[in-house]
Amino acid sequence: MPNIIDARGRSCPEPVIMTKNALDSNPNTSLKVLVDTNVAVENIKRFASSKGYNVRVNKNNDEFQIQISK
């Protein structure tokens, strides 16, 4: 089961920092990040991809689930 980070309601760069800290502490784990802005989605996708992670985004109403895995 992936770790879950709930970054809804937080403004950038906080969701990216939360994602970075989670990946730094467990680099080989799956991670699910919940956000509610397109800016956070794009910034997290860019960050995770630059670190070699696979990224998938699912939109559910006004929220996004970002799946990050190696």
The predicted pLDDT at position 29 comes to 87
The predicted pLDDT at position 65 comes to 98
Spell out the domain ranges in the chain. 3-69
pLDDT at 1 over 70: no
Q: What is the pLDDT of residues 5-56, one digit of tens each?
A: 999 999 989 999 999 999 999 988 899 999 999 999 999 999 999 999 999 9
Q: What is the pTM of this model?
A: 0.93
The predicted pLDDT at position 10 comes to 96
For the domain spanning 3-69, the CATH number is 3.30.110.40
Angle value at C-alpha 33, between 64 and 28, nearest 5 degrees: 140
Q: Which residues have a catalytic role annotated?
A: 12
The predicted pLDDT at position 2 comes to 65
By C-alpha distance, which of 42, 18, 39, 34 is closest to 67? Answer: 34
